[in-house]
Structure 1
Amino acid sequence: MSGLFGTLNVATSGLNTSQIALQTSGHNISNTTTDGYSRQRTNLQTTNPYTITGVGQVGTGVKVKDITRVVDDFVRQQTREANSMSKFYEEKADALGQLEDYFGEPSDSALLKQMNTIYDAWSKLSSNPELGTSKTLVVENSSTFTTTLNEMATNIEQLKSDVDTSVANSVYNLNQRIAELETLNQKIADNSLTAGTSNDLLDQRDRLLKDISSMADISTTFDKYGRVSELKVGDTKILDTDHRIPMSVVMSSVNGSTQIAVEGDRTKVVTIQSGDVNGGPLVVYNAETGKYDQITVSKGQIGGQLAASQEIKERYQEFNQFVEKMATKMNETYGDNGNNGPFFDLGNDPENIAKNLKVNAELQADPSKLMAGMGTNPNAGDGRLAKNVALSFSAKDEQGMTYAEHYNDIITKNGISKLKADNTVKAQQTVLDQLENQDASISGVNINEEVSNVIRFSQAFQANARVLQTVSEMLDTLINRTGA
């Protein structure tokens, strides 16, 4: 349209686009401190011109092409991966740190010190085999030692149980987040069909994905609407645009039956035949086979908890083997030449000897029955048996290690793993901080820039308003002040 009415339309389009651009800048400013917000940009383009013969094309104004988020999807993907690795080592370091506290070395009250105390008690008994006080010291110090072993074993077992409980809780939270993502997918699709790009919903999507990445290693693909068209945990697809497959947790397997916390909810435990579970401890239900298939999580909070649980289990088994070897060897040495009864009672559970080990109840009741000499009726002053028991503490086994060296080996393994986790946490946190800073520099709101835009678009608005006023005055002159 040419003429004054065409100019009127041009100015009106300028007013409308300036108003939208001002609103976008205002939206950015108001969300300066909103976590996960990505600044938005109003993209403008000229409207189609019209042609005047002999003159050429004449512009018809401006329109808003779209409003886009300023993001770098690659940086956000890298941030999610770094976040996942950081949480993995953070969880692992935390659990192994608690295990390190239970070992409590070095300390005057820890196990190595108590082993030295027992060695000294047996050595003194070998020098004073008839002295009742020396026998009492051996029995009492050994009882204190077994009590410490029992408490340590119980604490380590409880720590593993607590970590396993944390796994179930984390899986429950992960399922909740993925359910939220499923709902958000639908909102994004509905909004895209009616209103175009869903910038604020896409920010919510990215925040959710970052939360999910902190729990597990994920990979994602997106469709044209911005929905998560496929989300995998490890190599297992658990979400697409049509389906969501919740994760469950294997709690225990006993006598051919397996208990599963459905969707990680410990109040919804089902018992199934062990043959209906393929692996563990994390599984998803396969509707086609009617079985639970294993799912592997190697990163994130859940991955760290699983790795820590496995290491705690290994340290507990090594600790139990160390106690079994030491107690068995001492029993064998003490039982030489027909002495009555073992010194230690190992209990009836081979897998939990450390938790059940006790000094022979008969000796606890009457320490005077403790034998110090060789044979069934040792001579007075014979302390050879006590000396042999004391020497067993420094004797090397078939692996060329003493009792203390076996125990130190367990502590060292845990210490090295804990140190590695601590160092990796620091390294990953540095990487994560750099990526988050890079993301903030791209997508964060720059107040100076937004204020500059506000000034620029407000001036454009005022200029277009001035054009409208001028056209209005010209139309008034044309209509009311011309003619007869």
Structure 2
Amino acid sequence: MASDLLSIAVSGARAARGALDVTAQNIANASSDGYSRRSLRLEEVSAAGGVGRVGDISLSGARIAEIRRNADPFLQGEVRRTGGDLARADIELKGLRNMESALEQSGVYDAMVEFEASLQQLAGDPVDPARRAAVLGEAETLAAKFNITADGFDAVRNGLQFDAEAEVSEANIIGQEIARINLRMNRAGPGSSDRASLLDQRDLMLERLSGLTSITTSFSADGTVAVSLGTNPARSFVNGGAAETLKIREYVDGVPVFEIGGQETKPTSGSLGGASLALTDLAAVRIRLDDLANGFATTLNAAQANGAALDGSPGQPLFSGTTAGTLKVALQSGAGLATAPAGSPAGSRDASNLDALRQELKTNDPIQGFSSLLFDVSSKVSGRTVTQSALETIASTARISLEQQAGVDLDTEAANLIRFQQAFQASGRAMQTASDIFDTLLGIGR
């Protein structure tokens, strides 16, 4: 009787001490990233029979059956999905805002207005050298503004591409870490603290990976996970203890083409998905900017070809280059401006060719074209800002739900400390009682 009571009390003390250890672990890791609250599952220990009691039930106390990790796979999946969508929106919005800034701060709009104003001034006295020099100076300023805008777009593109390449490297590191966790998971005992820790690491790596690109996961009963990246179709990235390599195969119009194991994949979420969207937007806006610069130069050069310079010679192109980045002023002197119609004598005050040019600019209205371009980019920024704000709220809600379910509540842990301490003390009292009974029996024998 005393021996049974002592062994039962010892098992109870061990179980209570284990519960206290788990509670202390929860408190210590209350602020640790990716930590899920632990709890113990205890079970009764019983054995049949005994010396002189064949067929009886011998009660043997309790034991720790499992260390449970309180994590909900559905909520974790929601955090990964909403976090990936938010990361995509953040990067795309960042790229659009940088494009907007490049357009706004370059001064192209003001330079166009000043250039047309200088043409109007020249029409008042088409042979005035100062006014001709002013037109040429405004043309050089406008070309420089287009160049600055193109350089700004190049900086946005290079920044997005640099970040994308860094994130591809990070994704490969995470993939290798997930593969290592899968291997270690096979060696971790079921219900052990080591296994719970590995599961925390696994889920933290998956969350980080989902912030980079769209992922599809398949979990096995042993805790290992298979990961695929991209959509339509998803490409296998981690399978068991092996990880493939994500690469940027090439850039098409500045937009990265991703591949895994030689097979193309397209991220639709995460920062890589956002970078692809932003670079796609940038390529479209850059084409419109180049078309605007080329159209402006073509209009001016065509007018020059239809007129005569101040010395009566045929007009020469005012601009060279066909894109915003290559636009340059080709004329060396304001005297080369072809204000008079072709065939006019030197020093002609006939400004009909200049008037035709101004009318052509009014018809094509490059100022309105640039304004429309800036408006479209600003509208997209405004729309993406609303989307990003909504996704931020959704992601925050998913995060809060997971933390409430899997996070550590210090009030609960404080209550558990008292409860398990009392259980430990009660088991100690049972051991003391067993010792007293044993001493009494020995005294009777003497």
TM-score, scaled relative to structure 1? 0.84
Q: Aligned match of 1:334 in 304, 310, 317?
A: 304
Cα–Cα, structure 1 residues 100 and 57, in superposed 2: closer, same or farther, change >3 Å?
Answer: same
Is the Cα–Cα contact under 8 Å of residues 178 and 205 in structure 2 kept in the other structure? yes
Distance in 2 (alpha carbons) for counterparts of 1:225 and 1:238: 19
The aligned residue for residue 17 of structure 2 is 19
Deviation string, structure 1 residues 130-155 (Cα, Å, up to 9, x no partner): 21111111111111101111121122
Distance in 1 (alpha carbons) for counterparts of 2:386 and 2:97: 13
Distance in 2 (alpha carbons) for counterparts of 1:251 and 1:69: 43
5+ long unaligned stretches in structure 1: 255-278, 286-291, 397-401
Amino acid at match of 1:33: S
User: What is the deviation of 1:374?
Assistant: 1.9
The aligned residue for residue 470 of structure 1 is 433
Cα–Cα, structure 1 residues 297 and 483, in superposed 2: closer, same or farther, change >3 Å?
Answer: closer
Cα–Cα, structure 1 residues 193 and 42, in superposed 2: closer, same or farther, change >3 Å?
Answer: closer
The aligned residue for residue 426 of structure 1 is 389
Cα–Cα, structure 1 residues 253 and 423, in superposed 2: closer, same or farther, change >3 Å?
Answer: closer
SS at match of 1:141: helix
Distance in 2 (alpha carbons) for counterparts of 1:211 and 1:44: 34
Distance in 1 (alpha carbons) for counterparts of 2:240 and 2:199: 15
Cα–Cα, structure 1 residues 244 and 483, in superposed 2: closer, same or farther, change >3 Å?
Answer: closer
Residues 214-363 of structure 1 aligned to structure 2 (within 5 Å):
214-234=211-231, 235-251=234-250, 281-285=257-261, 292-337=262-307, 340-347=314-321, 350=322, 353-361=323-331
User: What is the deviation of 1:82?
Assistant: 0.5
SS at match of 1:419: helix
The aligned residue for residue 384 of structure 1 is 352
Matched, 1:128 2:125: yes
Is the Cα–Cα contact under 8 Å of residues 247 and 283 in structure 1 kept in the other structure? yes
Is the Cα–Cα contact under 8 Å of residues 84 and 217 in structure 1 kept in the other structure? yes
Distance in 2 (alpha carbons) for counterparts of 1:193 and 1:78: 26
What is the total number of aligned residue pairs between the two structures?
Answer: 435
Distance in 1 (alpha carbons) for counterparts of 2:189 and 2:370: 63
User: What is the deviation of 1:225?
Assistant: 1.8
Amino acid at match of 2:445: G
Deviation string, structure 1 residues 275-318 (Cα, Å, up to 9, x no partner): xxxx9611123xxxxxx321111110111111111111111111
Amino acid at match of 1:460: A
The aligned residue for residue 139 of structure 2 is 142
Distance in 1 (alpha carbons) for counterparts of 2:367 and 2:148: 19
Is the Cα–Cα contact under 8 Å of residues 45 and 65 in structure 1 kept in the other structure? yes
Deviation string, structure 1 residues 214-270 (Cα, Å, up to 9, x no partner): 00010111112211134434311111114321011124589xxxxxxxxxxxxxxxx
Amino acid at match of 1:465: G
SS at match of 1:468: helix
The aligned residue for residue 289 of structure 1 is none
Is the Cα–Cα contact under 8 Å of residues 248 and 284 in structure 1 kept in the other structure? yes
Which range is displaced more, 410-419 or 466-475? 410-419
RMSD: 2.4
User: What is the deviation of 1:24?
Assistant: 0.6
Q: Aligned match of 1:208 in 201, 205, 229?
A: 205
Matched, 1:157 2:154: yes
Distance in 2 (alpha carbons) for counterparts of 1:250 and 1:193: 42
Is the Cα–Cα contact under 8 Å of residues 238 and 245 in structure 1 kept in the other structure? yes
SS at match of 2:179: helix
Distance in 1 (alpha carbons) for counterparts of 2:397 and 2:33: 17
SS at match of 2:242: coil
Distance in 2 (alpha carbons) for counterparts of 1:209 and 1:60: 43
Is the Cα–Cα contact under 8 Å of residues 40 and 69 in structure 1 kept in the other structure? yes
Which range is displaced more, 411-420 or 331-340? 331-340
Is the Cα–Cα contact under 8 Å of residues 37 and 69 in structure 2 kept in the other structure? yes
User: What is the deviation of 1:104?
Assistant: 1.1
Matched, 1:192 2:198: no
Amino acid at match of 2:439: D
Is the Cα–Cα contact under 8 Å of residues 230 and 237 in structure 1 kept in the other structure? yes
Amino acid at match of 1:67: I
TM-score, scaled relative to structure 2? 0.91
The aligned residue for residue 65 of structure 2 is 65
5+ long unaligned stretches in structure 2: none
Deviation string, structure 1 residues 408-445 (Cα, Å, up to 9, x no partner): 23222322222222222211111111111111111111
Matched, 1:85 2:85: yes
Amino acid at match of 1:120: A
SS at match of 2:266: coil
